[in-house]
Chain A
Amino acid sequence: MHRFLDLTLNGVSSGMIYAAVALALVLIWRATRIVNFAQGAMLMFTTFIASWAIDRTGSYVVGFVVALAAGLVIGAIAERVLVRPVEGGPPLNAVIVTLGLLVLLEALAGMIWGNIPRSFPPAFTIRGFDVGGSRLLFSPFDLFTVGAVLVVAVGLGLFFTRTNLGLRLRASAFDPEVSRLLGVRVSRMLTLGWALAAAAGSLAGVLVAPAVELGPTNFDVVLVYGFTAAVLGGLDSPTGAVTGGVVLGLVLSYVSGYESSALVPLASLVLLIAVLMVRPGGLFSHAAARRV
């Protein structure tokens, strides 16, 4: 029972990280119908910037804020400079551009900070909580992880549903042409959408870095799990992205704990294929068809 509790809590905490990456992918997919393959590299880059800020100031809080701000900026620049020219073009062009950005950022990070992975501090201790004389795997940092992602997810949810700007962002995602007719500056909304998505991604980078260490290619696997979580949730649904992340985290945690950690990547793919076979639109797909 103790082991089950450990694995469950551990699954929720790593699932929240996948959820943040999935949220980043879903926000961009909804707004531009582009899968951002560079998301893993973007969050790697912002985590390096956070690491640099922590080294300079000695403050984790500063590094954390810098990471999110860098995410906003990198997301906005990526959209304005690289993605804008291929928006509305053949989907393959956008795929190639985001893959190119992935390679570019990984190479740049290697040139600036070197290819040897370095450690990245957690916000709080990773020593598990003591409950009734026995120690859990679940640590204060895990609690922080869950809380931070929840705050960002709920904040984004409120922003999209409760503000005029959020309303215009959603409208632009549904139908850019009609939105323009109604006076919405769609191009600005797309830039903002990419910025918010990249900020959600950079949160995941800071949270996962203590576990995977910080190196130019160390976050590639995070993108794979984030993508799986996004597809589980249906690619179009932010709520689905968060749920998909937690479901994936739990499944992978149980597989790793009860079977073998070597099976984790395999389990992720099996889950992905199973969902695509049973519910191709994802767990949160709507019955109504949507024009793509």
Chain B
Amino acid sequence: MLPREESGESTLRVVDVAVRFGGLTALSGVSLDVAPGEIVGVIGPNGAGKTTLFNVVCGFVRPDAGEISWRGHSLARVRTHRLAGLGIARTLQGVGLFPGLSVLENVMIGAEPRARARFATTLLGLPRSDRDERALRAAALAALGRLDVAEVASRAPGTLPYPVQKRVALARALVAEPALLLLDEPASGLGSADMKGLAEVIAELKGDMAVMLVEHHMDFVTGVCDRVVVLDFGRVIATGSPAEIQADPRVLEAYLGFETSERAAEREIREPEPGRA
């Protein structure tokens, strides 16, 4: 088999991206690559620009400078609705499920870009044929089954527990069989058992698709990611394997909540405990 054009190369490439909102610099000089099959974690304190970075990649925000390319083609002029067809899927902070549609219908919408490549009728926007419908339904059910939530297919999303809703949202992103999956805080609001299950699911995706995720939970990120990128004030301050990042004193000190003893001592002097004053 001949190697495909993109194989071996990075799939997503972000070069020197800058975003400003009025006077606020959300991102500046941010560069990163995501290789096929690689799981990359983006961490950083609140306001570091993690979600802005995602929004730039999926076209919600236009960068003021820099270049984003996907398989060698610039994404600068690509409208958001075309990303799914190009193999890029994204989940949102929270769940972002359609409240008035059943779980199955939610996932069927995610399955459409893939189906559209296969069936001419959906391309023309004609009412679906039985065959199209069966294929979409089967794909959606398979995605739900992969995440062990097939039994809630006919329920309304709002009636489900939050961790189940998160799984449905992930199923909706996976059903398109993306080459790049962007996960915006996939573990937020999950308990430790659910987080463990999620880590297993993501680990299984490895090799099938590239994953870029934004997350606060350090254990989760170091457990599941091949590579970690640390953002602060809109800049990349460190990048490396989870072990390297965990060993980087600046990262430890400023972004992971661990403090070096000097810093801790300093703070104790400056900030008396509340209530004592």
B122 interface hit (Cβ, 8 Å): yes
Partner of A178, one of B83, B98, B108: B98
The distance in angstroms between the C-alpha atoms of A181 and B112, with both chains bound, is 12
Closest chain A CB from B135 CB (angstroms): 11
The distance in angstroms between the C-alpha atoms of A180 and B158, with both chains bound, is 21
The distance in angstroms between the C-alpha atoms of A180 and B110, with both chains bound, is 10
Contact in complex: A174, B109 (CB < 8 Å): no
Task: Chain A residues near B58: list those with CB within 8 A.
Answer: 181
The distance in angstroms between the C-alpha atoms of A170 and B106, with both chains bound, is 10
In chain A, what residue has the closest Cβ to B116? Answer: A183
B85 interface hit (Cβ, 8 Å): yes
Contact in complex: A183, B176 (CB < 8 Å): yes
Q: Which of A168, A171, A183, A185 has the most CB of B within 10 A?
A: A183
Interface size class of A (residues with CB under 8 A): 20 to 34
Task: Chain A residues near B118: list those with CB within 8 A.
Answer: none
Interface residues of A in 117-135 (CB under 8 A from B): none
Partner of B81, one of A159, A162, A165, A184: A184
The distance in angstroms between the C-alpha atoms of A165 and B109, with both chains bound, is 10
In chain B, what residue has the closest Cβ to A30? Answer: B100
Partner of B98, one of A159, A165, A170, A186: A170
In chain A, what residue has the closest Cβ to B125? Answer: A165
Known: A174-B99, A174-B100. A182 touches B109 (CB 8 A): yes
In chain B, what residue has the closest Cβ to A291? Answer: B99
Task: Chain B residues near A290: list those with CB within 8 A.
Answer: 99
Contact in complex: B60, A177 (CB < 8 Å): yes
Interface residues of B in 76-112 (CB under 8 A from A): 79-85, 89-90, 92, 96, 98-101, 105, 108-110, 112
Partner of B127, one of A159, A171, A181, A186: A159
Contact in complex: B112, A184 (CB < 8 Å): yes
In chain A, what residue has the closest Cβ to B88? Answer: A181
Known: A168-B112, A288-B158. A181 touches B83 (CB 8 A): yes
Known: A164-B132, A183-B176, A288-B158. A178 touches B112 (CB 8 A): no
Known: A168-B112, A180-B81, A181-B90. A175 touches B98 (CB 8 A): yes
Task: Chain A residues near B158: list those with CB within 8 A.
Answer: 288
Interface residues of B in 208-243 (CB under 8 A from A): none
B186 interface hit (Cβ, 8 Å): no
Known: A164-B136, A184-B109. A171 touches B98 (CB 8 A): yes
A285 interface hit (Cβ, 8 Å): no
In chain A, what residue has the closest Cβ to B90? Answer: A181
Closest chain B CB from A155 CB (angstroms): 11
Partner of B112, one of A162, A174, A183: A183
B113 interface hit (Cβ, 8 Å): yes
Contact in complex: B101, A182 (CB < 8 Å): no
Task: Chain B residues near A177: list those with CB within 8 A.
Answer: 60, 80
Known: A164-B132, A174-B99, A288-B99. A183 touches B85 (CB 8 A): yes
The distance in angstroms between the C-alpha atoms of A163 and B84, with both chains bound, is 20
Supply 5 further A-B pairs (C-beta < 8 A) apart from A165-B128, A170-B100, A182-B113: A164-B122, A164-B136, A180-B79, A182-B84, A183-B83
Query: Which 5 pairs between the two chains have the least Cβ-Cβ distance?
Result: A183-B84, A183-B113, A163-B127, A180-B80, A174-B98
* B contacts, CB < 8 Å to A: 58, 60, 79-85, 89-90, 92, 96, 98-101, 105, 108-110, 112-113, 116, 122, 125-128, 132-133, 136, 158, 172, 176
Supply 7 A–B pairs (Cβ within 8 Å), ascending by A. A167-B101, A168-B112, A170-B101, A171-B98, A174-B99, A177-B60, A178-B92
